[in-house]
Chain A
Amino acid sequence: MTQYFTSLSRRLINKFGNRKVPGRVSVVVDVDTKKIYPVPRTIEHIDFVRQIFFGSEEVCGERLSRYIPSHVDIEPTDNNSGDAIGIITGVSGLEISYGARHLVKDLYSAHGMVKEFVERGDVHLRDSLLEDIVVERYALQD
């Protein structure tokens, strides 16, 4: 059973890290429950969201808007703890191919939740992130 996590722990990174590119952890934020779910390496977002949130129900666009993808890029450091160097929120296959759209306020809320999620965890969140991006391309008007 897939579980949510409350911080970007070493255990999470070991299990879910290096998704698609080295150092990346992809998560989905449920903006209603404020829970954060890491996406497994071998599963696409749409399949993951269907499995976790919809079960046997048909995937519905309105509900889909409540699940926001975010990606944390981690760079190794000498002390082996790692630095979070980038957070990008609001884009995945859900938006590009399945038409998921999100409220702008939810995108920023999710982005903030992921930052806090990283800060509570086992990697250092760089003060000046190389990428600190909320993608508004797939946003709904508030």
Chain B
Amino acid sequence: MTERLIDGIVKYNRSLEFNQHLGVVLDRIERYDMRSDEFNRVLGVIDTHTSNEDVALDCVLALADWYTGNVVDQRRYISWQVLKNSLDKGFLSAKIRRVISLSG
């Protein structure tokens, strides 16, 4: 799953630095759990390593699909929203805030 997520996120951005950062974050994520601090770190990586909005959107949707696709319970949407609400928006760019808001 981690590989699938990375594949999606780096589809348009194959820089070594980007892959390394993201790999470190995602390797620590348990299958059915993503803590808010991990979520914030992933979003921070995407924010830092994407220069335009459509690439950032692709990355965030890959993350959303990965997450909602692997939550066991039936409340996956609620769960994703809870995670989104835990975002520390203070350190994220307007680009990422706009993109994340599209994900439900």
A residues neighboring B (CB under 8 Å): 20-21, 24, 44-46, 71, 73, 86, 88, 91-94, 96-98, 130-131, 133, 135, 137
Contacts and interface: CB of A to CB of B under 8 A. Distances in A.
B8 to A, nearest CB: 9
Nearest to B98: A21
Interface of B: 53-54, 57-58, 61, 64-65, 68, 76-77, 80, 97-98, 101-104
Contacts of B103: 91-93, 96
Contact of B77 (A98, A130, A133): A98
Contacts of B102: 71, 88, 91-92
Contacts of A20: 101
B104 A44 contact: yes
Contacts of B65: 96, 137
Contact of A24 (B77, B101, B104): B101
Contact of A97 (B53, B54, B76, B98): B76
